[in-house]
Amino acid sequence: MRFDILTLFPAMFDGPLTESIIKRACQAGLVTIDVHNIRDYATDRHRTTDDAPYGGGAGMVMKAEPLAAAIHAVIAARTATLPDATATQEPHVILLTPDGELFSQAVAQELARQPWLILVCGHYEGVDERIRETLITRAVSIGDYVLTGGELAAMVLTDAIARLVPGVLDAESIVEESHSDGLLEYPHYTRPAVWEQLNVPPILVSGHHGEVARWRRQQQLQRTLQRRPDMLATAAARGLLTPDDLAFLKTLGWSIDAKI
Ligand SMILES: C[S@@+](CC[C@H](N)C(=O)[O-])C[C@H]1O[C@@H](n2cnc3c(N)ncnc32)[C@H](O)[C@@H]1O
């Protein structure tokens, strides 16, 4: 899978995407991440990429021309060099913006099925709206707060999506984790069995795989009820809860019809 990230601050990406699992995914050729400096596409003497907003007001706006040139150049370069199967597909051109669709595990899963994403990082007051009207295919927010720039948001998307690319992690760990099946994950423990007088739950050292699975599922349900009750109704509506799940939740006072 390919990520092309367009930014005014490429150095911000050194580190977060060049360590650990994402680094290994890149080394294994499962993921390619290229960061492009939008300023390289500015044509005036001062390499200007922003200007004052029409209508007045605070801050600066990222100019359309360098950004459009950067997007066109990346698409042209990649289309010429990528293998046929990828080249025939248009990339998703995603703008990171606080007024976009809220990023979630479901969106990450959907985007991980794409072969190629272009992520556009805004800065200052954001980008000229005409870029959004003409070149952006999707606008994504990582939460209801405002960052100084889209760079951290692009890193969040890249990390969350890249780890879902087949082969990057083992399949089991992705299936069972928080949000992947509409629930939060169960708690984890590792050696030593007793730490600071706290024991590992005995079921986990019992060797009964079926009982361990049942305990974990119940922990997922209990935690989700305690921490994110909103998720349970959604999981039920999506048919993700089994009759056993619903029976267990009933013992905790939750039922599909009655909100707690
Ligand atoms: C200071 S923000 C601009 C905020 C914009 N004036 C507004 O009120 O919606 C600068 C840039 O940071 C990025 N950004 C800020 N918050 C974000 C969020 N929650 N999710 C994704 N990108 C965000 C966007 O790329 C945005 O263009």
Note the pLDDT tens digit of each residue in 94-140: 999 999 999 999 999 999 999 999 999 999 999 999 999 999 999 99
pLDDT band at 258 (very low <50, low <70, confident <90, very high): low
pLDDT band at 260 (very low <50, low <70, confident <90, very high): very low
| Most informative mutation of 123, 146, 148, 158 for ligand 1 (most atoms within 8 A of CB) | 146
User: What is the residue extent of each domain of the chain?
Assistant: 2-171, 194-251
CA distances from 63 to 35, 70, 135 (A): 19, 12, 14
- Ligand 1 atom with the shortest distance to the CA of 144: 19
Q: Among 1.20.120.80, 3.40.190.10, 1.10.1270.20, 1.10.3330.10, name the CATH number for the domain at 194-251.
A: 1.10.1270.20
Query: Is the CB of 141 inside a 6 Å radius of any atom of ligand 1?
Result: yes
Query: Is the CB of 6 inside a 6 Å radius of any atom of ligand 1?
Result: no
Superfamily of 2-171 according to CATH: SPOUT methyltransferase, trefoil knot domain (3.40.1280.10)
The yes-or-no answer to whether 2-171 and 194-251 have a common fold is no
CA distances from 50 to 7, 153, 189 (A): 13, 20, 50
Higher-confidence residue: 79 or 141? 141
Q: Fill in the DSSP letter of residue 248.
A: H
Q: So what's the pLDDT on residue 132?
A: 97
